[in-house]
Structure 1
Amino acid sequence: MGEAFAGIAGLGIAGFDPLGALALMAAMALGARRRAIATLLVTTVATIVVTGFVLSSTVGPWAIAQIHRLHDPGHIVWGLIVLAAGVGLLAWAIVRLVRVPQPKPDDATRSGHSVGMLAVIGIGVGLSAFIDPAFYGLLVVAGGIHSWPMRLGGIVLWACLSQIALLALSGAVFAGAFAPVHRFITRVRQQWGARASRFASWALLVIAVIICVEGAFELHGHWWIP
């Protein structure tokens, strides 16, 4: 159980998503009140938890069974899956590295700040987990936890870690520290945003190459990474 939670924690960190915090900052710039901010926070986390629990309880065990059945060195299906995943990540990394960042106008991320609008945005932010590979890793790991309360706890942990920026910013807002937090985030983004994105792209490239090599080895009936 401890290994499962450690894995979920690692996946939560890997699935870090600043989108919720950016949406909250845009809403605050338009005058969102505490109730609207709370709505965004609750709907974002709740959407992740509900979808994660339902899918990990159904798709998760099935995926584990398929992995155990296919995960043999030399199995062409599993080798192709690993190789395809590596190629996909490699393409993503290359696109990130060659893409030229485009400046956006200050109001590019602005949206409505009513409770209903932020509820819709929160659901959208929560559903954006479906484009995060770490979310699918969560489904498999959580699907192997037989106790549903522990499985639910693991999914809540992943949701909180992946949305730590939203949780931290919301906490600061409710503590009355919006202005200094807003200045700090803006300063950090301006100074380190491009460098952090570049580093993440190169790290993704290295991981993709490793996965591609592993897939090629498995197609030839050998492990490269035990």
Structure 2
Amino acid sequence: MARYLSQMAALGVVGFDPLGAIVMLAFIAGGAHFAHTVVFTAVNWVTIVVLGAAAGSAVDLVAGPLRHWFSSVPRWAWIVAEIVAVIVLVSWALVRLRAGIGPEKQQSARPARLWMLIGIAAGLAVSMFADPGYAGAVLAGAAHPLWWRVVGLTLWYLIAMSALVVVCIADGFGATAPVSAWMHRWLSRSRRPLWTLGTALIVVVSVLLAIDTVLLATTGRFVP
């Protein structure tokens, strides 16, 4: 299990997301109490773990039929799909390069309403399915028993959403102001490196897909 937990920890680093912490800090500035922060963090954690564990079970159930379906798809369809994917990714990278880094957005203070906190926390959890780190964590846990999925996804959460966990702990000690100031400085310094890294990853995936398309067309095999 050490290998599985190390995989989940690495995927947690890949899936690191400060958005939950930024949203919670805005609510704190709008008058949210520590109990609100605890509820927001707990709902986000439980939703991520429950959805991830359930999705892992679904992956386990449909893995066999999916393999059969993939093997029945003709080669030309895969080639067309990969060409389309390359075009979309290259276009995305060009749009990013043309637009550059947008202006820094400030999260305004929002009044604390419990139903709003619960809804946003759950919504952020659902949006994690678009995160490659979370998708990888779901797939990594699919082959393990339910209990280990819960443990692994909790570890993933503590790392990927560590900024929110820190805000929750800091709020308990009444120290959100210095945490907010530090996070703002960190995000300001990290915007360009993160933007560059994101664009570079899009280009790398585009190149790998292009290579795979050529290999599939000439040999009938995907890149290993």
TM-score calculated relative to the size of structure 1: 0.80
Code of the aligned partner of 1:112: P
Partner residue of 2:216 out of 210, 214, 218: 218
Number of equivalences: 222
Q: How does 1:29-44 map to 2 (within 5 A)?
A: 29-44=29-44
Please tell me whether residue 8 in structure 1 is matched to residue 8 in structure 2.
yes
Please tell me whether residue 196 in structure 1 is matched to residue 198 in structure 2.
no
Shift of 1:81: 5.9
Give yes or no for contact 2:34–2:168 (8 Å, CA) kept in 1: no
Corresponding position of 1:129: 128
Distance 1:105 1:94, change over 3 A: closer
Deviations 1:141-183 (A, max 9, x none): 22122x2211222222222222122112222222332121111
Corresponding position of 2:161: 163
Give yes or no for contact 2:75–2:220 (8 Å, CA) kept in 1: no
Corresponding position of 1:113: 112
Shift of 1:84: 5.6
Q: What value does the CA root-mean-square deviation take over the aligned residues?
A: 3.0
Deviations 1:56-99 (A, max 9, x none): 1113442476358747xx95566666666555544444433333
Give yes or no for contact 1:45–1:159 (8 Å, CA) kept in 2: yes
Corresponding position of 2:203: 205
Alpha-carbon distance in 1 for matches of 2:216, 2:5: 28
Alpha-carbon distance in 2 for matches of 1:112, 1:169: 17
Code of the aligned partner of 1:49: V
Structure 1 stretches of 5 or more lacking a match? none
Code of the aligned partner of 1:186: H
Q: How does 1:26-65 map to 2 (within 5 A)?
A: 26-63=26-63
Distance 1:208 1:157, change over 3 A: farther
Structure 2 stretches of 5 or more lacking a match? none
Alpha-carbon distance in 2 for matches of 1:129, 1:91: 24
Distance 1:84 1:61, change over 3 A: farther
